[in-house]
Structure formats: structure tokens, C-alpha cells
Homo-oligomer: A and B are copies of this chain.
Amino acid sequence: MLDTLLQRRTIRKYKGTDIPDEQLNKILEAGCRASTTGNMQVYSIIVNRDEKMKELLSGCHFNQPMVKNAPVVLTFCADFNRFNLWCQLNHADPGYDNFLSFFTAAIDALLVAQNVCVAAESEGLGICYLGTTTYLAGKIIDILHLPKGVVPVTTLTMGWPDEDPALADRLPMEAVVHKETYQEYSSDDIARLYTMKEQLSENRKFVEENNKQSLAQVFTDVRYKKSDNVLFSNMLLEVLSQQGFMNQPS
């Protein structure tokens, strides 16, 4: 099992074959066994198979081709709506319209998402996460008819692999694991820990194609720019407010 986890690859190209309902249900059921805060299960999963719906969603994810080509697209949402309705039905006054509650629900949704990945991959399926969900969350809310109390936090495309990519590079474990307390990095540490990544031929090509001086500049100037981050931060905070998660009078 450890070996399976160690060998996993993100899959962006899928065969035309569908995922049988029964198999998908089993995967989702296994995924939903992940831990959840106080067993409140404050998340929802939206399953999209319909071509037109995938086309609409694709526009929220920079038109990345995986969205239209995958047989199944799953949007994982922080969801206090269902729990709030239950409270109201039972003469209980829910106090979950605040940032902590959003984050609690987001954790529930993300742990389930990763558990669904492991379940799917153990069945031979391939997955790809879309980090774009938080960029255009407002648009996704409209398309999927998400009510107040519900915010999409991540998206998975899922299907039968039609590619066999190389294992992705990772930083050495000493870069991400700290013993007892956080060990701050010296410049030498940073240079050493990122050397392998910088020297990969695909990354050197990346730097050249973008006319940059360093791989880090490809991230800061092209892929994850400050101006985009600021714009999407404000949009996401606005979405949290609109969905009723920012009521915490100080």
C-alpha cells in the first residue's frame, strides 16, 4: 500500500470509457470514511458527468481540457447549509456563519477529497486536482446552484488513465519535515534543497521558454503572479461573505 502511494501520478488524459455508477459510489463511500470534525460531516460533493455541465465548469477552470475530457468531475464543497437546516428543524440555533466554521467545513471537504483520490487510484483510476476552484468560486456557485452556507474548495477530474507520466519531482524530505520545532532555512539550505528541482531539464526548458532568469521567476512572474493572487483573494473573501461565513463581530 505504501508503495502504491509512493508511485502515484497525477493523470490529465483519460480514455473515453465511463466510470460505472456502482464503482463511483463505492469510491465516494470509501472516501467519506475520512475523519470529519465532531462527525458533523459539513461538506458536500457535486458529481458532474453531463457534457453541458462540464462545458460550463470548464470555463471556471481556465478551460483546462481535463474538465471536458474526464468522464467524472467532482466539486468538493465546505457545506454548513445542511447542518444549519438540521439545527433549525430541531430548535437549535446554529452559530456557524463565521470564518472558523468555514475553515472547519473546508477541512472536512479536503480530507474527503484526498480520501476519494486514494480510493479511486486503488481502483486503477487517475485523478487531477484543479487549484482553480478557489479563483472563480462565485461562478461555480452559480453553475452548481450552491446555496448560502456552501463554498466550493477543490475540484477533481477522474477517469481511466490514457497516459503514463513520469513521477513528479519532490523536494527532499528534510525540506518539509521539521523535528520538534521549525528549523529556519539558511540561504545555503534553500539553494541545496531546490537544486534538483532547478536542474530538471523540463524546468530549465520552462525558464528558457518564458525568457526568465530563474525557475522562481516563472512562478512569481508567470504562473502565480501577485496581481492575480490579490484579485482572487478579494474575490474569495467576497464569496465567503456572500455565502454567509464572515459574521464574527470583534
Q: Contact: B50 with A33, CB < 8 Å?
A: no
Q: Contact: A87 with B220, CB < 8 Å?
A: yes
Q: Contact: A214 with B92, CB < 8 Å?
A: yes
Binds B, one of A62-70, A158-166, A230-238: A230-238
Is A249 part of the binding interface, using a Cβ–Cβ cutoff of 8 Å? yes
- Cα(A237)–Cα(B32), bound, Å: 29
CB A162 to nearest CB in B, in angstroms, measures 18
B-side contacts of A92, CB under 8 Å: 214, 216-217, 219-221
B-side contacts of A47, CB under 8 Å: 177-180
Is A96 part of the binding interface, using a Cβ–Cβ cutoff of 8 Å? yes
Q: How many copies does the complex hold?
A: 2
Q: A33 touches which one: B28, B127, B170 (CB < 8 A)? A: B170
Is A199 part of the binding interface, using a Cβ–Cβ cutoff of 8 Å? no
Q: Contact: B182 with A129, CB < 8 Å?
A: no
Binary flags per residue of A1-45, CB closer than 8 Å to B gives 1, else 0: 110111110100000000000000111111111110111110111
* Contact A184 B147, CB 8 Å, known A25-B173, A214-B90, A220-B92: yes
Q: Contact: A53 with B170, CB < 8 Å?
A: no
B-side contacts of A201, CB under 8 Å: none
Q: Contact: A181 with B46, CB < 8 Å?
A: yes
- Cα(A248)–Cα(B44), bound, Å: 29
Residue of B nearest to A235 (CB): B100
